Amino acid sequence: MRRVAIVIALVVILIAGTAFTAGPGTLSVLDGMMGGGRGTARVREGVRFGTHGQKLDVWRPSGGAKTGLPVLIFWYGGGWVHGSRSAYAFAARAYATAGYVVVMPDYRKVPDVRFPAFLQDGAEAVKWTRDHIEASGGDPNRIAVAGHSAGAYTVAMLTLDPRWLRAEGVDPRIIKAAVGLCGPYDFYPFTARRAIDAMQGAADPVMTQPIHFARRDAPPMLLVSAGDDTQVKAHNADNLTAKLTGLGAPVRHVDYPGLSHEDVAMALSKPFRGKATVLADSVAFLNRAMR
């Protein structure tokens, strides 16, 4: 056992700085090696949903209550180009250890699609969750959403702009709380190549911006930014927080100085949870909002 622990420690040291850049899947493997999945179970894998062959996984605590658990739908990042639900298993396991039934959906990506396909896929994932999560022990009346980077964009748009859920026959009030980790919310005019490519389908670019849909009756939102994020600048969270606050909507902004864009996601994993209290802070927020 001691030898195994030493080997694991060496692996952590060797890839500590490259776990995320090598691919989130590498981080999920490392997370599993370090016990990140202890106390959780993937109870559904590769479940088809929606109208374009999308798939999702469902994770939950392996012990405790069997029914009535709060639900979190988590969308991964990747600039609307990369990412997969299996690669981000570390994030699903993290929130499952906190007592949540976690739905991790895939979505269509650039260049196969453009705006608003990924939002439509997101809305279909919410619809599936509403209709089926009870079978996995989740409470369909307590659904929150969370995501990182491009996934946080989906979170903000589904939370603030009701047209996407309404188009699927879902009451937008189904979302009880939202957590956006390093998400783009106010990025027009577009300057980044990925944003330009992803938003090509928009007749009116302003209508792609979450900040445009800020409203007083929005559910509680937690917006997380990173002090050293060079990919999604902190003004996105700053501006949306200011807009929501001015309208009287419940919002909290937390910035983690010294963290990069990737660090915020890595901090959800077991090996790198010491980077910042991202998991603890977001779980505390969700628990209060879902009470």
Q: Which residue has the tokens 């929606």?
A: 50
Amino acid at 212: H
pLDDT for position 2: 45
Instruction: Select from 25, 26, 66, 27 the least CA-distant residue to 43.
Output: 66
Beta strand extents in 106-247 (DSSP E only): 138-148, 175-181, 221-226
Q: Answer for the pair 73, 82: CB distance below 8 angstroms, yes or no.
A: no
Four-residue CA torsion sign, 182, 202, 207, 142 = negative
Beta strand extents in the chain (DSSP E only): 40-49, 54-61, 69-75, 101-105, 138-148, 175-181, 221-226, 251-256
pLDDT for position 14: 44
Q: Which residue has the tokens 């396991």?
A: 93
The second-level CATH assignment, the architecture, of 2-289 is 3-Layer(aba) Sandwich (3.40)
Q: Answer for the pair 108, 198: CB distance below 8 angstroms, yes or no.
A: no
pLDDT for position 7: 44
**Mean pLDDT in consecutive groups of 10 residues from the start of the chain, 291 residues:** 44 49 83 95 98 97 93 98 97 98 98 98 98 98 98 99 98 98 98 97 95 98 98 97 98 98 98 97 97 85
Instruction: Select from 3, 253, 50 the least CA-distant residue to 167.
Output: 50
101 CB contacts (<8 Å, ≥6 apart)? 58, 59, 60, 69, 70, 71, 72, 133, 136, 137, 138
pLDDT for position 240: 99
pLDDT for position 5: 44
Query: At what angle are helices 117-132 and 150-160 packed, to 10 degrees?
Result: 70
pLDDT for position 22: 54
pLDDT for position 289: 97
Q: Exposed (0-12), middle (13-18) or buried (19+): which is 197, by Cβ within 10 Å?
A: middle
DSSP string computed for 31-67:
HHHTTTTTTEEEEEEEEEETTTTEEEEEEEESSS-SS
Q: Where are the domains of the chain?
A: 2-289
pLDDT tens per residue, range 20-77: 555 789 999 999 999 999 999 999 999 999 999 999 999 999 988 899 999 999 999 9
Instruction: Select from 181, 99, 179, 166 the least CA-distant residue to 139.
Output: 99
291 CB contacts (<8 Å, ≥6 apart)? none
Q: Which residue has the tokens 């902190």?
A: 234
pLDDT for position 161: 98
